[in-house]
Each structure stands twice: as C-alpha cells, then as structure tokens.
Amino acid sequence: MKAPETHRQANLLLARIAFGLVAFSLVAFALKAAAHTEVQTRYTPLVIIHGVSMLAWMGLLGSQAWLAANERYSLHRMMGKSSLGLVAVMTVTGLTLAVNIGEELGRIEVTIVNLAAFATFLPLYLAAIRFAARKEIARHRMAMLIGTLAFMTPAYARVVQVLELPDPLAIAVQVPITVAIALGFDWKTQGRFTRSTLAMLAFSIAIVVVMVASLLPLIL
C-alpha cells in the first residue's frame, strides 16, 4: 500500500532540513578556519574523524528521510541499523574530544557544553529506535530531528566567534532555533503541536537548563 502523501511531504521536509544543517555546519566551520587560521593546528586525526562522522550523521538523517519519502524501506531499514556504528564513532570521538579540548584550553565549559549535547541526543536516538519499532513514525522523525539539533551548538559557536560576539550567545540561540524548527516542523506536518514533540522539547530544554546552571559559577 502506498504511503499517504502527507507522510511523503513530511519526509521530504525533514530531508531538506537535514541537508540544510549539513550546509550550515560546513559553512560555519569553514568560516572559522579561514578567519582564525590558528585553529587548523588542532585538526588532528581524531578531530577529523569526529567532524566527518558528525556530518555523515546529518547526511544520513537527510538520506533516510529521502528514502522513506520514496518508499525505499528496505534500504532505509538497512541504513538505520548501520547508524548504530556511526553513532558509536560519534559518541566515542565526541566525548574524548570534549574532555581533551576542555583540558587543553583550560575551559571546562567547553567540556560541559559538548557533554550536554550527547546527553540530549543519545536518549532521543534510543527513543527514535523504539518509536520506529512501534510504527510511530511521526514521533520517530521528531526524535531524530530534535536529537540532531542538539549537536548544532558548535556550528553556532563558530559563527558567533567569526562575528566576534560573546561565546555564550551560541548557547542562547540554540534553544530558540531548536524550538522554532521543531515546532515549525510539527505544525507543517501535523497541523498542531503534539504532546510528544512538546515533551521531547521539554527534555532538550531541561538539559540546557542544567548545563547553564553548571556553567554559571564558572562564568560569574
């Protein structure tokens, strides 16, 4: 049976958002590397592997949405299973770098921000897998979207740094951008704000609140 057109349009919209995140991240990090060339000395193999795996994740999200929109479900499921390996690489390299860079720069806040991103993503990723198993596709898409948006703070930070604005601004814009994209997607695809989306956003924001609370003693 052919999937409803609304499902196809929702998946296509998710694909566009995911590929947009890839493009934004590439531009943000390229601008930072060009404006502050000294950061290029920190592009170790571990950093490169992490960066490539993160971009691959966003690209995978877009590709998976595109496959679902075109009813390529067998390939979609196969690639979904392979995402476990990619998530493992992202997590190990990301957490290692979060600790190493924080120590190298003497800025524990860098470690905290990156740990918060994974504390948001991993539960939502696991929830998305469960939603898929239960055929709750709208919730599956939203969990993947909000979880992925949690990783965007470093890209926002690169733009903030290039513009020579205060670093905390990257955290300040992360919440409204995540909320706007998630609720906009919900409204466009569901015609309303669903309880599951609001719950996932509340979880994401709660992590940010805990992160900011732990950072305040370091900032003030």
In the chain, domain spans: 5-219
Give every CB contact of residue 148 below 8 A, 6+ residues apart in sequence: 18, 21, 57, 58, 61, 121
Mean pLDDT, rounded, for 8-28: 96
pLDDT at 3: 62
For 94-208, list the strands marked E by DSSP.
Answer: none
CA 132 to chain centre: 19
8 A C-beta contact, residue 126 and residue 111: no
| Per-residue model confidence (pLDDT) at position 121 | 96
What pLDDT was estimated at residue 99?
86
Specify the 3-state DSSP secondary structure of 132.
helix
Query: Token match 């969990």: residue?
Result: 143
pTM for the full predicted model? 0.92
Distance CA 119, CA 19 (A): 23
Q: Is residue 102 very low, low, confident or very high in pLDDT (cuts 50, 70, 90)? A: confident
